[in-house]
């Protein structure tokens, strides 16, 4: 398809849908906190219902780690996962600064790690995904990133991660034996990719793809550590379900941090419910609560500084 034609088509569609989108977006932004907590409440109610039909909350105490080596491997992948996110933020935030001043050097890793970890803390306290970007921008010492430039860098990274996640869903559908669904979704993703190619670089796509693979491996290892999934079923059962789970959760524009993933995972992997919840919660602690705790180093300092609010 001709790229110029595709872009023109998307621009026309954008103008048509813009008034509706603007109103819907404004409403979601205004109510995102309440939506997050409501989503969490519904998810926890769903979990309670599932557990009540299978022995109640006490069954969670039956969840035991059956393979500590798998748990160790999942933990060892944590710095790789977070490192790729930091690398992505370093590249994107540096690029937007270069657009403002071509002589701007690439940003230091000390600043990058501080901003990423503070963003994780804000996202946990939010609890909505936009809080991650707000946290990063608040922690930066570069005034040029405090406004639209920082928001642009975060938005491009988040959009690319979502784009890659849906491409993995195409592969997951093919593996799961649903070729028609894979073709339909693949065609839709191809159309989106033509438009997205003007915003996403190959390097950024590789980073996002690598981060998704790392996360998927962590989840598979966690599920196997709690005896939910055999390693022999990782590709045929585990990977397709993880792709479906993360696409579903990621599609909610006001994601709550706690409860939603556990409820979705309990629906996907229903063979060993206590193990599923334990594995999913352990992964949440590792990938979200762990970095958020580290981010408190700077967030705590920010609470104690004087009125100028500067974080060095």
pLDDT digits (tens, 9 = 90+) for 227-266: 989 999 998 888 888 887 777 666 555 555 555 666 677 7
pLDDT > 70? residue 176: yes
Q: C-alpha dihedral over 292, 294, 300, 301, to 10 degrees?
A: -140
H or E element, residue 153: helix 148-175
Rounded distance, CA 117 to CA 44, Å? 27
Residue 312 counted as domain residue: no
Q: What is the pLDDT of residue 30?
A: 57
Q: What is the pLDDT of residue 206?
A: 94
Q: What confidence category does residue 79 fall into, taking pLDDT thresholds of 50, 70 and 90?
A: very high
H or E element, residue 106: none
Q: What confidence category does residue 215 fall into, taking pLDDT thresholds of 50, 70 and 90?
A: very high
Taking Cα atoms as reference points, which of 204, 212, 205 lies closest to residue 165? Answer: 212
Give me the residue label for tokens 């990133």.
145
Residue 194 counted as domain residue: yes
Say which residue, 55 or 289, is predicted with more confidence: 289
Over residues 29-40, the mean pLDDT reads 56
Q: What confidence category does residue 200 fall into, taking pLDDT thresholds of 50, 70 and 90?
A: confident
Phi and psi torsions of 307, nearest 5°: -65, -20
CB 109 within 8 A of CB 86: yes
In the numeric block, which tokens belong to residue 39? 């989503």
- Give the number of domains in the chain: 1
Over residues 207-216, the mean pLDDT reads 93
Q: What confidence category does residue 198 fall into, taking pLDDT thresholds of 50, 70 and 90?
A: confident
- By mean pLDDT, which of 45-54, 103-112, 172-181, 289-298 is the weakest? 45-54
Quote the domain boundaries for residue 272.
3-304
Q: What is the pLDDT of residue 17?
A: 41
Rounded distance, CA 145 to CA 95, Å? 11
Say which residue, 126 or 55, is predicted with more confidence: 126
Radius of gyration of the chain (CA): 21
Taking Cα atoms as reference points, which of 254, 248, 251 lies closest to residue 263? Answer: 248
Rounded distance, CA 242 to CA 280, Å? 11
Rounded distance, CA 10 to CA 82, Å? 34
Q: Among residues of the chain, what percentage have pLDDT more than 90? A: 30
Mean pLDDT of the chain: 78
Task: Give the count of beta carbons closer than 10 Å to the beta carbon of residue 180.
Answer: 8
- Residue 250 burial (C-beta neighbours within 10 Å; 0-12, 13-18, 19+): middle
Name the range with the highest mean pLDDT among 97-101, 165-169, 222-226, 280-284: 222-226
Task: Using alpha carbons, list the distances in angstroms from residue 229 to 20, 63, 247.
Answer: 44, 13, 20
Residue 310 counted as domain residue: no
In the numeric block, which tokens belong to residue 17? 């849908």
Task: Using alpha carbons, list the distances in angstroms from residue 210 to 33, 79, 155, 258, 271.
Answer: 31, 13, 19, 25, 29
Q: What is the pLDDT of residue 82?
A: 96
Q: Among residues of the chain, what percentage have pLDDT more than 70? A: 68
Give the 3-state secondary structure percentages of the chain, helix then strand then coil, rounded to 5.
80, 0, 20
Q: What is the pLDDT of residue 114?
A: 94
> Cα angle vertex 172, ends 177, 209, to 5°?
160
Residue 309 counted as domain residue: no
Residue 228 counted as domain residue: yes
> Cα angle vertex 292, ends 290, 293, to 5°?
65
Residue 104 counted as domain residue: yes
Rounded distance, CA 214 to CA 89, Å? 17
Q: What confidence category does residue 173 fall into, taking pLDDT thresholds of 50, 70 and 90?
A: confident
pLDDT > 60? residue 29: no
Q: What confidence category does residue 9 fall into, taking pLDDT thresholds of 50, 70 and 90?
A: very low
Q: What is the pLDDT of residue 245?
A: 76
pTM, rounded to two decimals: 0.77
Residue 311 counted as domain residue: no
Burial 133-148 (b: 16+ CB within 10 A, else e): bbbbbbbbeeeebeee
Rounded distance, CA 189 to CA 207, Å? 18
Q: What confidence category does residue 5 fall into, taking pLDDT thresholds of 50, 70 and 90?
A: very low
Q: What is the pLDDT of residue 68?
A: 95
């Amino acid at each position: 398809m001709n790229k110029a034609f595709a872009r023109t088509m998307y621009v026309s569609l954008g103008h048509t849908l813009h008034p509706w989108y603007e109103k819907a977006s404004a409403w979601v932004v205004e109510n995102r906190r309440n939506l997050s907590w409501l989503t969490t409440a519904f998810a926890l109610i769903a979990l309670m219902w599932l557990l009540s039909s299978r022995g109640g909350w006490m069954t969670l105490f039956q969840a035991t780690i059956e393979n500590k080596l798998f748990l160790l491997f999942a933990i060892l992948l944590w710095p790789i996962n977070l490192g790729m996110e930091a690398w992505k933020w370093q590249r994107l935030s540096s690029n937007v600064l270069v657009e403002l001043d071509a002589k701007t050097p690439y940003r230091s890793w000390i600043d990058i790690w501080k901003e990423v970890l503070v963003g994780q803390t804000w996202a946990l306290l939010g609890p909505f995904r936009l809080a991650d970007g707000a946290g990063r921008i608040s922690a930066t010492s570069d005034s040029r990133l405090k406004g639209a430039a920082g928001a642009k860098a975060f938005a491009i990274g988040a959009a690319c991660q979502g784009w890659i996640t849906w491409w993995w869903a195409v592969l997951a559908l093919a593996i799961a034996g649903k070729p028609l669904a894979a073709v339909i979704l693949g065609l839709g993703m191809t159309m989106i990719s033509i438009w997205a190619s003007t915003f996403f670089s190959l390097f950024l796509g590789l980073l996002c793809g690598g981060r998704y693979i790392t996360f998927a491996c962590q989840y598979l290892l966690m599920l196997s550590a709690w005896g939910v999934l055999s390693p022999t079923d990782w590709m045929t059962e585990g990977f397709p379900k993880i792709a479906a789970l993360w696409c579903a959760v990621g599609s909610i524009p006001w994601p709550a941090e706690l409860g939603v993933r556990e409820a979705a995972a309990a629906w996907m992997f229903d063979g060993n419910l206590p193990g599923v919840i334990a594995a999913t919660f352990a992964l949440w602690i590792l990938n979200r609560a762990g970095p958020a705790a580290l981010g408190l180093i700077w967030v705590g300092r920010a609470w104690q500084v004087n009125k100028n609010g500067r974080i060095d």
